[in-house]
Structure 1
Amino acid sequence: MNLLRKYISFIDGINRWIGRVVMYGIFAMMAILLWSSVSKTFFLPSLWTLEMAQFAMVAYYMLGGPYSIQMGSNVRMDLLYGEWSSRRKAWTDALTVLFLIFYLCVLVYGGWDSLSYSLQYGERSPTAWRPYLWPIKLIMLTGLVLMLLQALSELAKDILRIRGEDIPREVV
């Protein structure tokens, strides 16, 4: 059980730090879109702005996902769940996180395959700007792996709760 606590602390720490840094990515997206508006109004329109804003949004979403899971910001139907005991919640969460883990494993497999293809063939976007796609695919795969590790951390927390152990605040 001590190993589980160390795993939880390590993964939660990494994802908390990345999530806190990535949350400021909204300002990068705003700057890109502001430049897009200014360049279209006063100068020649930039070819790269829309696609770069999309890439920034993907990075923001994928790297912020693990932090969102950690903070419990996911959507949950609270019709019955809110009235349950913490042990029953832990059992339900442990069961449902297994489905999430399976889904994330499938996504990681597909992401790895897509990244490998992109690197092997020098895949580029079909737009006029034509950036390489491997950097954003690498970011997506990194986000998926971090989400998988966070889902495993949540499963470990549920296992500790099912055993009746209290999880100290600094571990969570």
Structure 2
Amino acid sequence: MHKAALGYIRAVDAVNHRIGRIVMYGIFVLMGILLWSSFSKTFLNPTLWTLEMAQFAMVAYYILGGPYSIQMGSNVRMDLLYGNWSLRKKAWVDLFTVLFLIFYLGVLLYGAIASTAYSLGYWGSEPMSFFAGLITGSEEIGRTERSPTAWRPYLWPIKTVMIVGIFLMLLQCTSELLKDILRLKGETI
């Protein structure tokens, strides 16, 4: 169990670290989009795609960078009491609170999967069977959802990014849970 937990922690931390280090440069993509938006509105004809593309870039930056933030401990915390606690007490509190976060992320992941299925034209109530049917060939993509703006981009790509980001966050929270358990057993990670 101990070796399996350490292997899981190392694998998840490595994946989220690499993705986080790449995604952190997404802020420059966002800045480029907004700079182009300002330039085109001032000197050229305003473009339709810049505001919505900036929103999509920010969602990807935030969602895919979240697991890295949790891993680095740079997420926002209420340190009024927490900062003065011992490592053991912090591990107990983190162990307890991460369970709520894992539950919340599970609900959020199911909602993201259902929303993505809807954006691919599925109108039923079983999104998991829809995706299983896509793999086996028994389902087809229907009328895909588009944004109601003038640009009208498809929404399934950003919803897919949300699924990936929430799933990575769920994996990272499970890794943090295992780290807390190992800390409570007195082991160094």
TM-score, with structure 2 as normaliser: 0.87
Q: Distance in 2 between matches of 1:161 and 1:119?
A: 44
* Gapped regions of structure 1 (runs ≥ 5): 168-172
Which residue of structure 1 aligns with residue 168 of structure 2? 146
Output the CA distance in 2 between the equivalents of 1:113 and 1:166.
40
- Aligned partners of 2:84 and 2:52: how far apart in 1? 45
Once the two structures are superposed, the pairs formed by residues 133-172 of structure 1 within 5 Å of their partners are 133-167=155-189
Deviations 1:148-168 (A, max 9, x none): 00000000000000111111x
Report matched runs for 1:50-61 at 5 Å.
Answer: 50-61=51-62
Structure 2 residues not aligned, in runs of 5+: 122-142
How far apart in 1 are the matches of 2:150 and 2:70? 37
Q: How many residues align?
A: 167
Q: Which amino acid in 1 is paired with 2:106?
A: C
Q: Percent identity?
A: 70
Q: CA deviation at 1:71?
A: 0.6
Mapped to 1, the partners of 2:61 and 2:181 lie a distance apart of: 30
Q: Distance in 1 between matches of 2:164 and 2:23?
A: 13
Q: Which residue of 1 aligns with 2:34?
A: 33
Read off the aligned partner of 1:146 and give its amino acid letter: L
RMSD: 0.8
**1:24-103 correspondence runs (5 A):** 24-103=25-104
SS of alignment partner, residue 130 of structure 1: coil
TM-score by length of 1: 0.95
Distance 1:54 1:80 in 2: 36
CA offsets 1:32-89 (integer angstroms, 9 cap, x no match): 1111111111111111011001100000000000000101111212222222221111
Give, as a single letter, the amino acid of the residue that structure 1 aligns with 2:182: L
Stretches (4+) displaced over 4 A: none
| 1:29 shift after superposition | 0.7
1:152 alignment partner AA: T
Letter in structure 1 aligned against 2:59 = V
